[in-house]
Amino acid sequence: MSGPGALILLVEDEPQMRRFLRVSLEGSGYRYLEAATGQEGLSLAAQHRPDVLLLDLGLPDMDGLEVVSRLREWSQIPVIVISARGQESDKVDALDAGANDYLTKPFGTRELLARVRVALRHANPEAGEQPVFTLGRWRVDLAKRQVFVEDQEVHLTPLEYSLFTTLIRHAGKVVTHRQLLKEVWGGAAGAQPLYLRVYMTQLRHKLEEEPSRPRYLKTEPGVGYRLFLED
């Protein structure tokens, strides 16, 4: 997760500051977690693997620097330190302990958010493994929006692709007619079960070896369709 919806963990003991940052971060579309102590912060970081950690140095239970170095024992999560201490030696120590950035209070919200964006940008230079779905002779590269059968690319129209990936998302499970129509054609009205039959036929012709006796794109009579995982 790198764009909006990224998870930010704030470790800060001052309630007023927490409330302020919470509003700023949630208002910018980030998911948000908070801890009031270093112990709690480390434990939450381990549990939830946030995308960025905002760390106040002045914590009651342990030194902020220790939080950073403990975290760095197992994680490369970007850490932005926010601190009232503006001494150069404080900054140097924090940065050398493993922090990625150091912001002195008071600071502007917009600068903080910009630095969070930098951290997120840096966090995954496409580190996230590309989502590729494979099944039998099929390979689907969700990122590139490409479908291969026996390493031969097959072109799918937008609706075909949408229908197919919807089944992939629910791979193995039955997806009802209603659910498919909703997810592929959008909640709007007008979508008829007939569409499903037409497009399932087309998908089978493009993807199945024997379209008339499908191996993976199975019909569940009276209920819906299912992408069969077993062989």
Q: Is 155 in the site for DNA (CB under 7 A)?
A: yes
Contacts with DNA in 43-82 (CB under 7 A)? none
Number of residues located near a copy of itself, criterion CB under 8 A: 38
CA distances from 162 to 40, 127, 128, 188, 200 (A): 42, 26, 23, 16, 12
Q: According to CB under 7 A, which one of 12, 93, 101, 160 is a site residue for DNA?
A: 160
Q: Which does 111 bind (CB under 5 to 8 A by kind): DNA, a copy of itself, none?
A: a copy of itself
For the chain, how big is the Rg over CA atoms in Å? 25
Of 40 and 154, nearer to a copy of itself (C-beta) is 154
Q: Which of 23, 46, 198, 229 is close enough to bind DNA by CB under 7 A?
A: 198
Per the CB < 8 A criterion, the answer to whether 189 and 139 are in contact is no
Give residues 132-171 in contact with a copy of itself (rule: CB under 8 A).
143-146, 153, 157-158
Query: How far is the C-alpha of 64 from the C-alpha of 69, rounded, in Å?
Result: 9
DSSP at 36 = S
| Closest to 50 measured CA to CA, from 36, 35, 65 | 35
**Using rule CB under 8 A, residue 89 touches a copy of itself:** yes
DSSP structure class, residue 188: S
- Contact footprint for DNA (CB under 7 A): 155, 157-160, 177, 185, 190, 192-202, 204-205, 211-212, 219-224
